[in-house]
Amino acid sequence: MHTTTLSTAANGAIITDHRHQFLTDVIEGLSSSPKCLHSKYFYDEQGDKLFQQIMQCPEYYPTRCEMEIIRQQREEIIGSVLKYLPQFDVVELGAGDASKSIHLLQTVCNTLPDFTYYPIDISWNIIQDLEKRLPEALPGLRIHGLHGEYLEMLQQTTELSHRNKLVLFMGGNIGNFDARTAVNFCRELRRTMRPGDLLLIGFDLKKHPQVILDAYNDKQGLTRDFNINLLHRINRELDADFDPMLFHHYPTYDPATGACKSYLVSLEKQKVCIGKEATITFEKDECIFMEVAQKYSPEEIQRLAFTAGFSPVGSFVDASGCFADCLWRG
Ligand SMILES: C[S@@+](CC[C@H](N)C(=O)[O-])C[C@H]1O[C@@H](n2cnc3c(N)ncnc32)[C@H](O)[C@@H]1O
């Protein structure tokens, strides 16, 4: 069973509502200064596949580190949750392929006979895949996928179930908001959660700048392809005429702010048509800001929790000290 707020045909074809929002966001982003595209649009079928490959590549340490936390500390994590919530459902914001959360779900299945897992994702393909694959991997798992935006779908889960929730927001997805937007998002998140709900939230920690930069500039070029794929998606879904060969992937990391940002640089002066709706002019060397992956210190994580109105009640870090999954109470 799944829920979607978007008009989606049985075969997953995207129809008007979604296309209209995508078009509006693309034109608005490419008309702003500096130009930008929203990273949530990275995840079409090809983007999902590329991200799964990125997670496997040697330079991309966050997945390995968080996987270690979840595999080795899952009993402690679920034990901490049970201290506050004897019964709960699990909601996952931006579930992706659930390759890490499946281990937590396994532990919850062993402990609670009766709970529902609500994965939320903006990618329709992800929701379809999870609803098919997870009950095969975890027999008896009750799953209700929600296709749409994080907070809108979280709101729906509060209407679908009156139980308290363990909300998972893993993989450093919070890092895709700049530091100020992250505060506002966490405040909204706490308001949408019921009092007493718990949030397990992943943070990529500040570390040697080269290690971070390499993770977003892998030798196989997967991160480049992941960024460039959004231009292909805009061509396909919005009838645009980007020549992806005329854009160069340029990642940066600023250790002072913890912001790891990626850009696409226009290699020449050029014009790009977005269907019949807009024509965008690029100067040579002009950049499109594609994504931020914000890194945090432990002090910044604590401050974010308190500023957003959460009480931190647990912290689980991998052996190398690269990544933290924090348990916050709403
Ligand atoms: C970087 S992947 C991480 C997946 C997973 N959390 C993990 O730890 O492996 C981000 C996922 O969040 C989804 N996503 C991104 N922005 C979203 C939004 N605004 N609302 C819902 N899902 C979103 C993407 O489709 C993608 O599957």
If you write DSSP's letter for every residue of 190-222 in order, what string do you get? HHHSPTT-EEEEEEEBP--HHHHHHHTS-TT-H
Contacts of 137 (CB under 8 A, 6+ apart): 102
Compute the distance from residue 238 Cα to the ligand 1 centre, in Å.
22
Q: How far apart are CA 50 and CA 290, in angstroms?
A: 16
Q: How far apart are CA 113 and CA 99, in angstroms?
A: 22
Compute the distance from residue 146 Cα to the ligand 1 centre, in Å.
12
Atom of ligand 1 nearest to the CA of 169: 6
**Other C-beta atoms within 10 Å of 202: how many?**
23
Compute the distance from residue 92 Cα to the ligand 1 centre, in Å.
9
Q: For the CA atoms of the chain, what is the radius of gyration?
A: 20
Measured by CA distance, the residue closest to atom 9 of ligand 1 is 171
Compute the distance from residue 307 Cα to the ligand 1 centre, in Å.
24
Residues with CB under 6 A from ligand 1: 40, 43, 51, 94-96, 100, 120-123, 126, 149-150, 170-171, 173
Best of 51, 173, 181, 230 for a ligand 1 pocket test (most atoms within 8 Å of beta carbon): 173
Phi, psi for residue 271 in degrees, rounded to 5: -120, 140
Q: How far apart are CA 167 and CA 127, in angstroms?
A: 17
Best of 43, 63, 97 for a ligand 1 pocket test (most atoms within 8 Å of beta carbon): 43
Residue 94 has a pLDDT of: 97
Measured by CA distance, the residue closest to atom 1 of ligand 1 is 173
110, 111, 112, 113: CA torsion to nearest 10: 40
Contacts of 94 (CB under 8 A, 6+ apart): 120, 121, 122, 150, 169, 171, 173
Low-confidence ranges of the chain (pLDDT < 50): 5-14
Bond preceding residue 86 cis, omega within 30 of 0 = no
Q: How far apart are CA 125 and CA 131, in angstroms?
A: 10
Residue 182 has a pLDDT of: 98
Compute the distance from residue 198 Cα to the ligand 1 centre, in Å.
19
Residue 3 has a pLDDT of: 61
| CA nearest to 316, candidates 307, 303, 326 | 326
Compute the distance from residue 313 Cα to the ligand 1 centre, in Å.
24
**Residues listed for the chain:** 330
Residue 113 has a pLDDT of: 82
Residue 229 has a pLDDT of: 98
> Are 57 and 220 in contact, with CB atoms under 8 Å apart?
yes
Atom of ligand 1 nearest to the CA of 126: 27
Measured by CA distance, the residue closest to atom 7 of ligand 1 is 171
Compute the distance from residue 201 Cα to the ligand 1 centre, in Å.
13
The tokens for 231 are 């231009």
Contacts of 227 (CB under 8 A, 6+ apart): 42, 249, 262, 264, 290, 291
User: What is residue 122's DSSP assignment?
Assistant: S
**Other C-beta atoms within 10 Å of 70: how many?**
24
User: What is residue 8's DSSP assignment?
Assistant: B
Residue 202 has a pLDDT of: 98
| CA nearest to 50, candidates 249, 257, 275, 240 | 249
